[in-house]
Amino acid sequence: MRRQLVYLLFPLIAATSSMAVADQFHTEIDMDSRGGSTFYVAGSISGHGAVDMMVDTGSGYMTINEEILAKLRETSQPRFVRHLRGRLANGSELEVPVYAIDAVRIGEACWLRDVEAAVFPGSTRPILGLNALQRTAPFIFSFDPPRLVLSHCDMSTEAEITAAASPF
């Protein structure tokens, strides 16, 4: 009898634990594949507006460009954090400033607050790097179909995010 009970409970326990894992993932975001292994997600940077971010799991930091930083300085208060020296994909080294941004939206509804972004010169494309992605962990990067599945998103509305960031 005891052995039969164990055999009956095991499938129930296994099903319950796999449901718990599946329930951790709340937000699915379609990625746009732009040739080869380059993927982009639509998003928004509070104080700037809509952006297409390249998803780069090989990049340690989210990056923005000087143009985005200039607009953020007009509309919000990005906070200087430090200078960062890093190695680029071509092997060269570059020192860049890192700023904390009030909020970044990935897809339509996944907000991350107080995100650090390295600022690259010129008009380089924004990159969604690991420092932002790890805050949604566990996450899934799917190639077929191209999709991010994220956990631990702040599902606030843009108005709520803006109100929370405003000092008044």
**What percentage of the chain exceeds 70 in pLDDT?**
79
Specify if 21 maps to a domain.
no
Out of 17-31, 56-70, 86-100, 137-151, least confident range: 17-31
Question: pTM to 2 decimals?
Answer: 0.77
- CA dist., res. 90 & res. 37, Å (int): 17
Q: What is the largest CA-CA distance in the chain?
A: 72
The verdict on residue 94 lying in a domain is yes
Supply the pLDDT for residue 23.
44
Counting the structural domains of the chain, the total is: 1
Task: Give the pLDDT score at 73.
Answer: 94
Quick one: 59 exposed, middle or buried, by C-beta within 10 A (0-12, 13-18, 19+)?
buried
Distance of alpha carbon 155 from its chain centroid, rounded?
A: 13
DSSP state of 22: H
| Model confidence band, residue 167 (pLDDT cutoffs 50, 70, 90) | low
User: Residue 141 sits in which domain range?
Assistant: 26-165
Mean pLDDT estimate for the chain? 82
Return the H-helix or E-strand segment holding 75.
helix 66-75
**Residue pLDDT, tens place only, 61-71:** 999 999 999 99
pLDDT for the residue numbered 9:
33
pLDDT at residue 2, as a whole number: 42
Contact (CB, 8 A) for 54 and 31:
no
Task: Identify the residue with better confidence: 9 or 148.
Answer: 148
Segment 21-36, tens digit of pLDDT: 444 457 899 999 987 7
Assigned domain for 17 exists = no
pLDDT of residue 20: 38
In a domain, 51, yes or no: yes
Residue 4 falls inside a structural domain: no
CATH number at residue 157: 2.40.70.10
Question: What single-letter DSSP state applies at residue 61?
Answer: S
